Structure 1
Amino acid sequence: MSRLISAGARYLKHRLFHMNVCDSSLISVNGKCVLSCLRTFPFYKHPLSSLSTLCSLMDEKNIVLLGAPGAGKTTVGVILGQLTGLPMIDIAELLENTWHMSVTQKLQEIGDELFLQEEGEILKRFSITRSIIALTGSNPMHPQSMYHIKKNGIVVYLDVPLKDLLERLEGMKIDHIVGLRPGVPMQEILQSRQQFYHMWYDIRVLCQFGDSAETVAEKVLDGLKRHQGSEMFISTRSTAKSPELMKDPSSFTDVLIEGLALDGGLYVPADSLPEMTVGEWQRLVEAPYTERAQVLLERSVHPDDVPAVKLREMVKRAYGQNFACNRIAPIRHLTDNQFLLELFHGPTASFKDFALQLLPQLFAYCMPRTCSYLILMTTSGDTGSAVLDGISCLSDNDKQRISVLIFFPEEGISQIQKEQMISYEGKNVKTVGVKSNFDFCQTAIKQIFTNPDYTGFLTVEYGSALSTANSINWACLLLQVIYHASAYLDLIKQGIITFGDPVDVCIPTGNFGNILAAVYAKCMGIPIRKFICASNQNNALTDFIRTGKYDLRYRIVTASLSPGLDVLRSSNVERYLHLVAHGDGQLVRELFSQLDESKHFQVPNTLLKRIQHNFVSDWCSEKECLAAIYSVHKSTGYILDPHTAVAKVVADRQQDWSCPVIISSTAHPCKFTAGVLQALRVKEISQHPSDQLQMLNSLNSLPSVHKAVLERIGKSQAQKKEACPADPSAIMDTIENFIQQKFMRVV
């Protein structure tokens, strides 16, 4: 029997207070009579925090404890009362005093439907402030009463493992709750109630099996501190030592909307990412991808920016029927101790779908409705179609105020990637090819974001503000952390490892965002040992990790079969250097100013040692990439896309085979059909993308051809293709022309 049961038994045996008050006086005095019969608990200092500060932040709010029967709401409420000195109210006891009979007797007497109605009506007339309230397990099933309670309360959900709940209820001999009837298992009732708990909570406390009541109470207080506080973000180039010293610290909403910091740096959390305990991670092993995403986002996005209930709605929409595999990001054994993390089951068949199915929903929720927004971005291929698909899922009203303009290197992406993007053309979206490479496009767009004269002109003249949706945007990067954590949990679920066993990850890397998301997963508690950075012949990252020298002076981008890696200046390297430099914004500013001015920098030796402690890197030639696709298909029947093949080659060279290595399969092979067919030694290859897809499909290999890509290619034929010269002023003119067409001119 858990320690929480023991604490509950002690409470029931030695009742700390009794409420002897009649129904009429309880309701008519509007809470005053309730207060007169409560005892405030002796206050003592909590070892983890200043509770006086917490209480002052809460103003007149109640702490409302919500959870299933047996979750320990009353027991934890008593301890919270002792810790804070606030009065504690047990709703079950209040009901019993009102009805003059036990809750079980009342339920047996009138049945489920009338019980919920009467219970809800009493709660609706209940009024009190600055107290701890322990709800019954069925209170959340009455919407009107919960709206009433939530108005003056911070609702804390004690999310206890089902196994623990069943054990407690058996020990407490609970044999009658709402919904329980012959032939219906208690487990089914508890699972069905989760939907009601998810509707109301502000804070979720993820309890571990066997947690003591004291531990849970401390978690509640930690959650309340976070809820009542704020989470700030800073630029990687900020020289302030703390957010308090910054002129304008930013919230999650700010960084989501702004995308790029005004000083040219990238936004990062002012404090470290929240680290989850081993027990909390273990709670998620059996959870579906959507629940894993929900928990990690709740820990990383402040409820003032996006409440938990809104996050849940977004997560369900983002990772639902639009993914071809119901496991969303499945992990597949490839060979020996190598595993593929399949990130291509989304609607546009690339890893970018994981961020960009949810990011537009965040935009629509957080963006002020007084302004129109243009999501301005550049892509090396996959990001473009992913954000266009995400935007297409928004409501018509949101599409009226949010538009997308995407620039891409005209000859730097695959034909199928180009056809995918063009197929989304519409009133609020546009794609434009640029007669240059990705680095030029990215630099031009970053310069526009840091040009206050131009951005100010767009706002004043057209009432339109700019934002971005690639991995420059912190929110995009955050959403990628989830699948790296999920892959590790799936290896546990499959019995390959147990929690704490190390793994390596090998990721084909262009702009450094995907691999940085894996670094952040480690910061949150996933035990990743080594990060293997895989490059193609555009191998500036390989040289940087090996030498600490980022040198672009004598390099030009070479087009390849893996265009997502055709990047020399990788934006998210800046975020990683800020992390390993322990937030030294001055150093980061100096390094990237030098890169801007002279196209190279050298990190100090101390920093290089930290980088090489975690990272190894290598690169793969075109010939080796093609050979890897062929050999893997011949031996396993599985087809790798060129980016994944690059990672496979590098993993073979760099892993030491002492632990599993997870290779990120970042795109479906059908997106790069011409190169894949060449690798598989098909002699006659059609120039038409639709024909190439049919040829690939005829091989009957894994993975099967992506149906959504097939559908998209068929829609692209009638769309007009547009290109512009490699001239920043031409790009600015294109932006203004698009805004003129989309948004009403301000008079």
Structure 2
Amino acid sequence: MFHVVQHQPVRLLTQTNLSSTWLKLMLSRPTALVWIWKSWSSSHSLVGNKNIILMGPPGAGKTTVGRIVAQKLDRPAVDIDDDVLEAAWNTSVSDKLRDVGSEQFLEEEGKALLKFSASGSVISLTGSNPMHAASMQHVKRSGIVVYLDVPTAVIMSRLQSMKVDRIVGQAPGVSLKDILQFRKQFYQRWHDIRVLCAGGVSAEAVAEKVLDAVKRYQNSQLETFVSTRSSRSEGSTGRDSDKYFSDVITEGLAPDGGLFVPQRGLPKFTAGEWQSLIEASYIERAQVVLERCIHPADIPASKLAEIIGTAYGENFTCSRIAPVRHLAGNQFLLELFHGPTASFKDFALQLVPHMFAYCIPRSCNYLVLVATSGDTGSAVLDGFSRLHDTDKQRIAVMNFFPEDGVSPIQKWQMIGCQKENAWSVGVKSDFDFCQTAIKQLFTNPDYTGFLTVEYGTALAAANSINWARLLPQVVYHASAYLDLVQQGTIPFGSPVDVCIPTGNFGNILAALYAKRMGIPIRRCVCASNENNVLTDFIRTGVYDLRARKLIPTLSPAVDILKSSNLERYLYMIAQEDGQLVTHLYDQLENQGHFQLGRDLLGRLQQDLVAGWCSEEECLAAIHSVYSTTGYILDTHTAVAKVVADRLQDRSCPVIISSTAHYSKFAPAILRALRIAEINQSPVSQLHLLSSYGPLPPVHWGLLETLKKRGHEDHQVCAADMSVLMSHIETLIQSHFMKVL
């Protein structure tokens, strides 16, 4: 065992000198004693006897930051290089590496760390320690591992100034940049906390960030959730009533009918932190953002990294996951259709099922209920079908969709995505009925209680009313902006507009959240089709459903009159006034309309502008873009393109969310492009489109799904709550064992 060496440039009070200092102060300055004792107990209560373990690449500043953190906490500081390895080897680390080579060095370094033990210290690891699994398991058991995440370009610059041109594990012919990138997988595996360290930030500032991050890690009660219909004075009334991320992902809807939101709001990133992600991959950006939004007590960082890697590693046809493509002028397309079911819903629904399976208790079965206007259904079915078999035995999905309110290909796809734990039911009504019915089921305690007692089954939601659905969408809006900076289109800090085809308000809300978190979005453009209730609302402040009937259009995902996630946005701009939100939605429910006050409307219009697009304009936009660029827009993206053309003031770039692949709407696309008569099967329509060599190509995953399972049957039911409840119970009976 190695002795801990204490670096003490300034010491206020340590465990070793506590008794003598106490005696002197008792005799001379009893008031000072009280102050110093409080200071000591406060700093030591932060992590108790745990170590704070700093990890990161060489040049990250671990030693310097570790000494500052140790001084601030009045704890011993240990540098593994200086205090452990060189003491054990009686030679410098660089000489050891030169003498034995990388492979043996890693083994001997790991053995030395296995013999090391300390408590209540701040430990700075070597850059290569994380590459030795056994020793990292040993050291991780003693404390909290903090990853100092410094951009590779900054590390390269620092190492160059230090005249370091080779590091441990770097084989001949492998560049320094490549080995630094290779090492990231080990840092991802072991860290409990990540601290972004932008270039130019002082070691003192990094040390403060480390302390803040440790405080957050130690106190999950800072990150509770409340309903949009709760007042500020209510908040959390006690530990038993607190709601955490693992609760809201399973419960979906708040008990009072409102939607869950973080009590303290979303985390804010500094400009430097965002800039540190410019060169990062999409998966790396997702990990950083989601780690800050999901407390590690709910999902540890290493598990979250595993889930993100599973969701985006191989399931997307484009390696960039959500690429940004230049369309024309200063318009750009954010392509969100490269997932397995060809829509933006895949970004959340390849991720959420694995989060859900991790968070739910093992003692209960869960039935996930979904209402969809088109894309959500197949995305949910596909996502939950990718769970491990043991999870599929306790998690089932039932998807309700308007039988005649989705495109033929969307229907084929939803039917084709049915699996052993996932079913689709067509409802003889519209999406609003399906969504309202599910809300009523969740807020019916007699029915939910019956399912729990009789079948040991709880209900859960995977619609965009579920908070976990929104978080992955925040990531791609932030990533799109960073891509424009990376491409040299704009300097960081220069604003952009985003234009999003909007029905249920979830996607555009995610962009508004990204703006609140520090992405320089100037304004969000809400694009509606002929169901333009949101356009009217944003322009006037009046949300009026009286005398409105849903109009089936060529862009069915926007065919929504009651936009659920709008409630979250109103809660945000109303400064968390749940009583006001409750009043507004009671009015909507009872009278069919509500109106915002002048102040609230003013805040809304600082964020949002809106327009709408007719069916003829939608088809004309598809034809025009194809004629001039060879690129095919889907019907929803075309709606956004029309509105962007109309409302864009040309003073800054606009990012148009391309929310689905045109393959899902082949009949409308064929009609817009004036190609052929469309009285063919969905598979034939896709083959016909493919013969024209379109850009982007026909979505192969969708084509394969339609080929294999396009003719399977599905259930259809009347728009009656009792009928829906009967279907749910039948599914539970067939999939889950009855509780005896």
TM-score interval, smaller chain: over 0.9
Name the SS of the counterpart of 1:34 in structure 2: coil
What residue in structure 2 maps to residue 239 of structure 1?
A: 231
2:514 matched residue in structure 1: 521
CA-CA distance at 1:179 after TM superposition: 2.4
| CA shift for structure 1 position 717 | 3.6
Residue in 2 that maps onto 1:197 = 187
- Kindly indicate whether residue 731 of structure 2 is the aligned counterpart of residue 720 of structure 1: no
1:663 is matched with: 656
Partner of 2:533: 540
In the alignment, the residues of structure 1 paired with residue 234 and residue 276 of structure 2 have an alpha-carbon distance, to the nearest angstrom, of 34
| Counterpart Cα distance in 2 of 1:626 and 1:103 | 67
Query: CA 1:187–1:716 in structure 2 vs 1: closer, same or farther (change >3 Å)?
Result: closer
Q: Is 1:586 matched up with 2:579?
A: yes
Which of 487, 490, 501 is residue 494 of structure 2 equivalent to? 501
Does the CA-based 8 Å contact 2:637-2:656 persist in structure 1?
Answer: yes
Task: Give the alignment of 1:634-645 within 5 angstroms.
Answer: 634-645=627-638
* CA deviations over 1:318-375 (Å, ceiling 9, x no partner): 1122212111111111122111111111111111111111111111111111111111
The amino acid that maps onto 2:67 is: V
Q: For the residues of structure 2 that align with 1:465 and 1:448, how far apart are their CA atoms? A: 11
Superposed displacement of residue 622, structure 1: 1.1
Aligned equivalent of 2:111: 121
* CA shift for structure 1 position 419: 0.3
Aligned pair partner of 1:646 in 617, 639, 650: 639
After TM superposition, list the pairs within 5 Å mapping 1:1-16 onto structure 2. none
Give how far 1:304 is off: 1.1
TM-fit CA distance, 1:204: 1.1
User: Which residue of structure 2 aligns with residue 71 of structure 1?
Assistant: 60
- Work out whether residues 43 and 84 of structure 1, in 8 Å CA contact, stay in contact via their aligned partners in 2: no
CA spacing shift, 1:112–1:418, aligned 2, 3 Å: same
Matches within 5 A, 1:101-120: 101-120=91-110
2:166–2:176 Cα contact (<8 Å) kept = no
Q: Give the TM-score normalised by structure 2.
A: 0.93
Q: Over residues 25-51 of structure 1, what are the superposed CA-to-partner deviations in whole Å (9 max), with x where a residue is unaligned?
A: x45xxxxx537x675952499xxx999
Q: Secondary structure at the match of 2:393?
A: helix
* Of 467, 470, 487, the match for 2:463: 470
Query: Which deviates further from its counterpart, 737-746 or 134-143?
Result: 134-143
Shift of residue 119, structure 1, vs aligned partner: 2.4
Q: Distance in 1 between matches of 2:337 and 2:621?
A: 19
| 1:611 partner SS | helix
Displacement of 1:636 in angstroms is 1.8
Aligned position for 2:77? 88
Matches within 5 A, 1:239-638: 239-241=231-233, 243-245=235-237, 248-638=241-631
One-letter amino acid matched to 1:60? N
Contact 2:62–2:125, Cα closer than 8 Å, also in 1: yes
Match of 1:60 among 37, 42, 49: 49
Moved more, 526-535 or 173-182: 173-182
Distance, in Å, in 2 between the alignment partners of 1:557 and 1:236 is 26
Name the CA distance, whole Å, in 2 between partners of 1:723 and 1:431: 9
Query: Is 1:152 matched up with 2:142?
Result: yes
Give the C-alpha shift of residue 680 in structure 1. Answer: 1.7
Question: Are 1:42 and 2:11 an aligned pair?
Answer: yes
Greater mean alpha carbon deviation, residues 162-171 or residues 434-443: 162-171
2:168 match? 178
Contact 1:117 1:142 in 2 (8 A): yes
Question: In the TM superposition, what whole-angstrom CA distance separates every residue of 1:404-424 from its partner, at most 9, and x where no partner exists?
Answer: 000000111000000001012
CA contact (8 A) 1:89 1:134 kept: yes
Q: Give deviations 1:500-543, integer Å, cap 9, x for gaps.
A: 11111111001000000000010111111111111111111111
Question: What displacement does 1:285 show?
Answer: 1.4
- DSSP-derived class of the 2:425 partner: strand
Q: Measure the CA separation in 2 of the matches of 1:304 and 1:51.
A: 26
Q: Secondary structure at the match of 1:319?
A: helix
- Residue identity in the other structure for 1:42: R
Deviation of the 1:182 alpha carbon? 5.4
Shift of 1:719: 1.3
Cα separation, partners in 2 of 1:177 and 1:658, compared to 1, 3 Å:
closer
Q: Which amino acid aligns with 2:121?
A: S
Distance change in 2, residues 1:56/1:244 (3 Å): farther
How many residues align structurally?
713
Aligned mates of 2:691, 2:179 — CA distance in 1: 48
* CA–CA separation in structure 1 for the residues paired with 2:193 and 2:663: 43
Post-superposition CA distance 1:253-280 (Å, at most 9, x none): 1111111111100011111211111111
- Please tell me whether the aligned partners of residues 150 and 276 of structure 2 are also in contact (alpha carbons under 8 angstroms): no
**CA gap 1:642/1:43 in 2 versus in 1, 3 angstroms:** farther
CA contact (8 A) 1:534 1:618 kept: yes
Letter in structure 1 aligned against 2:77: M
Q: Distance in 1 between matches of 2:388 and 2:113?
A: 36
Contact 1:104/1:176 (8 A) holds in 2? no
- Tell me how far 1:181 sits from its aligned partner: 5.7
Quick one: distance in 2 between partners of 1:43 and 1:696?
A: 75
Are residues 114 and 697 of structure 1, via their aligned partners in 2, closer, same or farther at CA, if it must alter by over 3 Å? closer
SS at match of 2:205: helix
Would the aligned equivalents of 1:43 and 1:83 in 2 still touch at CA under 8 Å? no
CA distance in 2, matches of 1:34, 1:698: 71
Distance in 2 between residues matched to 1:665 and 1:167, nearest whole Å:
38
1:131 equivalent in structure 2: 121
- Residue 689 of structure 1 deviates from its aligned partner by 1.0
Q: Tell me the amino acid that sits aligned with residue 34 of structure 1.
A: V
1:235 is matched by which residue type in structure 2?
Answer: S
State the alpha-carbon separation in 1 of the partners of residues 554 and 698 from structure 2. 19
3-state SS of paired residue (1:413): coil
Distance 1:43 1:647, change over 3 A: farther
Displacement of 1:489 after TM fit? Answer: 1.0
Separation in structure 2 between the aligned mates of residue 51 and residue 454 of structure 1, nearest angstrom:
54
Name the counterpart of 2:17: none
Give the TM-score of the pair, scaled to structure 1: 0.92
Q: 1:401 offset after TM fit, Å?
A: 1.0
Q: For 2:648 and 2:78, locate their aligned partners in 1 and report how far apart those are by CA, in whole Å.
A: 58
**Residue of structure 2 equivalent to 1:21:** none
> For residues 90-128 of structure 1, what are the alpha-carbon distances to aligned partners after superposition, in whole Å with 9 as ceiling and x for unaligned?
111222222222222333344333333332223223222
The CA deviation string for residues 611-641 of structure 1, in whole angstroms up to 9 with x for no partner, is: 1111111111112111211222222222111
Name the counterpart of 1:696: 689
Alignment partner of 2:314: what SS? coil
* Paired AA for residue 44 in structure 2: C
Aligned residue number for residue 8 of structure 1: none
SS in 1 for 2:396: strand
Paired with 1:210 and 1:287, the residues of 2 have a C-alpha distance of 18
Secondary structure of 2:303's counterpart equals helix
Q: Distance in 1 between matches of 2:173 and 2:624?
A: 55
* Structure 1 residue 237: Cα displacement: 0.5
